[in-house]
Chains A and B, each alone.
Chain A
Amino acid sequence: MTDFIAASLLLAGVALALVASIGLHRLPDLFSRMHAATKQATLGLVLTLTGVVIGLEDLSATVKLGVVIIAQFITAPIGAHLIGRSAYAAGTELSPDTLVDKSVSDALGGTTAAPGSESGN
């Protein structure tokens, strides 16, 4: 039973890695590609490492993998935020398919300026 749980967690995490790397090829712009990649960096890694913890049944392994999981949960969103913010400020264009709601953007003060031209970040 333990082996079955460990195996299904491992396979779920690994499948998410495959989905993320397919998403890197298929999705249209940088920000949607980051969306695919960061799901795997948190959820995929946590599934895989939980599978490893259950599969190994070893206290020191559990502690080490717990440290990795906590560190990844703190650093992966921060890293993705840093990259996304820098790329947006550097003028990375969005996909033409991106839905822009004009009424909302006007209500927010008409922020229709091109990326890279805003100030104060």
Chain B
Amino acid sequence: MTVVTTVALGILAIAGGLCLVRLVRKGSVADRIVALDTLLVIVVSGIAVFSVRRGDGVYLDVLVVTALLGFVGTATVARFIDRRGA
């Protein structure tokens, strides 16, 4: 299981790096929030995989909060785009 979680965390690191490049380098506000949303889901997956690696569920409370806060952020940026334009 340790090998699998190492591979999984490596793949997630690559995916997160790609999202980060997308987030920082170019695009409209909407492009950036899509990249940020993807990055957030990758972070949530990463924490979940890490807790399997440790065999310990104490990190899972973070996931509940993060998943809900992500939606608040997305909805807020959607309102921002409505007022200011993409």
Cross-chain contact A48 with B49 (CB below 8 angstroms): yes
Instruction: Tell me, yes or no, whether A21 is within 8 Å of chain B by CB.
Output: yes
Contact of A15 among B11, B18, B34 (CB under 8 A): B11
Q: How many residues of A contact B (CB 8 A)?
A: 51
In whole angstroms, how far apart are the Cα atoms of A82 and B1 in the complex?
A: 39
In whole angstroms, how far apart are the Cα atoms of A72 and B66 in the complex?
A: 10
B86 and chain A: residue at smallest CB distance:
A90
Q: Given contacts A24-B19, A68-B67, A87-B30, is CB(A41)–CB(B41) below 8 Å?
A: yes
Tell which of A54-62, A94-102, A104-112 binds the partner: A54-62
B71 and chain A: residue at smallest CB distance:
A75
In whole angstroms, how far apart are the Cα atoms of A114 and B47 in the complex?
A: 43
In whole angstroms, how far apart are the Cα atoms of A3 and B1 in the complex?
A: 7
Cross-chain contact B82 with A86 (CB below 8 angstroms): yes
Q: How large is the interface on B (under 10, 10 to 19, 20 to 34, 35 or more residues)?
A: 35 or more
Cross-chain contact A18 with B15 (CB below 8 angstroms): yes
Cross-chain contact B77 with A20 (CB below 8 angstroms): no
Chain A neighbourhood of B74, CB < 8 A: 75, 79, 82-83
Cross-chain contact A56 with B18 (CB below 8 angstroms): no
Q: List 25 A-B contacts (CB under 8 A).
A: A6-B1, A14-B12, A17-B12, A17-B45, A21-B15, A21-B42, A25-B22, A37-B34, A40-B41, A49-B45, A52-B51, A55-B52, A65-B48, A65-B60, A68-B60, A71-B64, A71-B71, A72-B67, A75-B67, A75-B70, A79-B37, A79-B70, A87-B30, A90-B30, A90-B82
Interface contacts beyond A6-B1, A79-B74: sample of 8 additional A-B pairs, CB < 8 Å, sorted by A? A17-B11, A25-B21, A44-B41, A56-B57, A65-B63, A68-B60, A83-B78, A87-B28
Interface set of A (CB-CB < 8 Å, partner B): 3, 6-7, 10-11, 13-15, 17-18, 20-22, 24-25, 30, 33-34, 37, 40-41, 44-45, 48-49, 51-52, 55-56, 58, 60-61, 64-65, 67-68, 71-72, 75-76, 78-79, 82-83, 85-87, 89-92
